Amino acid sequence: MKIERSELGKKAGELKAQGYSYLVKITAVDYEKYIEVVYMLRNLSENRDETLEVDVDPADAWVPTVIREFPAADWYEREMFEMFGIEIKGREARRLLLEKWNGKPAPLRKNFVWNAPYETSD
């Protein structure tokens, strides 16, 4: 289900109250004109899945954290920050995988150029 990023926390809370208590995955897809952030949730008692999709502008790539609703979001959000350059509002941006990477451009963005020299921080 497509939602606006301003609705993300509220919708995640509603789905959790409906039994979608298991966060399967958070990932992103870069379509160049926009980035789609995808949240996959599961209702274990009813064996049902629900997907939340939030489109963001690559030049203003951010989503609010869902860590209050789903504590398992921690590493997924950190991975999105590092690999896609998507800022997660409402939490500290700590590196998980690319400790010395300066983050520009993000490695899983379409504009990333392989084998180009990139700066790292020491």
| Lowest model confidence (mean pLDDT) among 14-18, 97-101, 110-114 | 97-101
Q: Is the pTM of this model over 0.95?
A: no
How many domains are there within the chain? 1
pLDDT at residue 6 is higher than 70? yes
Could you tell me the residue range of the domain that residue 28 belongs to? 2-89
H and E: helices and strands count for the chain: 2, 6
**What are the pLDDT digits (tens) for 34-80?**
999 999 999 999 999 999 999 999 999 999 999 999 999 999 998 89
Does residue 97 belong to any structural domain of this protein? no
CATH number at residue 32: 3.30.460.80
- Domain-embedded: residue 15: yes
39 within some domain: yes
In a domain, 13, yes or no: yes
Query: Is 51 part of any domain?
Result: yes
Model confidence at 18, pLDDT cuts 50, 70, 90, reads very high
DSSP string, 24-62: EEEEEEE-SS-EEEEEEEEETTTTEEEEEEEEE-GGG-E
Domain-located, residue 64: yes
